[in-house]
Chains A and B, each alone.
Chain A
Amino acid sequence: EAQVTQNPRYLITVTGKKLTVTCSQNMNHEYMSWYRQDPGLGLRQIYYSMNVEVTDKGDVPEGYKVSRKEKRNFPLILESPSPNQTSLYFCASVGDRGSDTQYFGPGTRLTVL
């Protein structure tokens, strides 16, 4: 079954404590993205990756890092989380055409106290 998995699904942490949200896809997609969803703002892209070792900033990259060491994995790293990063995070993957359907993970709800 084609899927994107994320872990953890829920996370409560404190300001400044480094955390990583993992993302993995089994469709051999080249492109992967991270989005954050906030009420009234829809989803906004944080970072994306075109292939292994190739990443670039999206619309709201401040405070986040990513890496793409393997094609299937695209972890999101918050080196020093702050309360304004409390949000719902989605990982997505897609083939190499703009017309392709993006597949989304189930989401990670992060609360930073």
Chain B
Amino acid sequence: AQSVTQLDSQVPVFEEAPVELRCNYSSSVSVYLFWYVQYPNQGLQLLLKYLSGSTLVKGINGFEAEFNKSQTSFHLRKPSVHISDTAEYFCAVSRRGNQGGKLIFGQGTELSVKP
């Protein structure tokens, strides 16, 4: 079975500051890794995903994440945040070879960007 832990439930940060949202996962099999963003009163939107290859993955809106197999982590980073980045962020995993794409989600991290 797979599990995902997002280490921070809330992250307040000032505008233009860097941010890191932490995600650790546990799995006995190989997985795909995803970050989704949920803006207020909206559905989830894919930010980026790691399938294979380069461990540094770039996504939309200037976000990037690094896959670290030895630490089983997939932390999300942005060098300079904007007010519009205020949202809830979810880390998720999907088992490789699992048709149907069942996602196991973390608990979510609320990013609050203050002026």
On A, residues with C-beta under 8 Å from B are 4, 31, 33, 35, 40-45, 48, 50, 58, 90, 92, 94-102, 104-107
Instruction: Pick from A42, A90, A104 the residue with the most CB of B within 10 Å.
Output: A42
Count the A-B residue pairs with Cβ separation under 8 angstroms: how many? 72
Binds A, one of B11-19, B41-49, B65-73, B75-83: B41-49
Give chain B's interface secondary structure class. loop
CB of B99 within 8 A of CB of A31, answer yes
Number of interface residues of B (CB under 8 A): 28
Complex CA distance for A31 and B102, rounded to whole angstroms? 9
Complex CA distance for A101 and B49, rounded to whole angstroms? 8
A48 cross-chain contacts in B, Cβ below 8 A: 100, 102
Instruction: Pick from A58, A90, A101, A105 the residue with the most CB of B within 10 Å.
Output: A101
Which of A4, A40, A94 makes the CB contact (< 8 A) with B101? A94
CB of A100 within 8 A of CB of B101, answer yes
**Which residues of B (90-108) have their CB < 8 Å from a CB of A?**
90, 94-103, 105-108
CB of B105 within 8 A of CB of A44, answer yes
CB of B43 within 8 A of CB of A107, answer yes
Complex CA distance for A100 and B103, rounded to whole angstroms? 11
Give min CB distance, A38 to chain B, whole Å. Answer: 10
CB of B101 within 8 A of CB of A98, answer yes
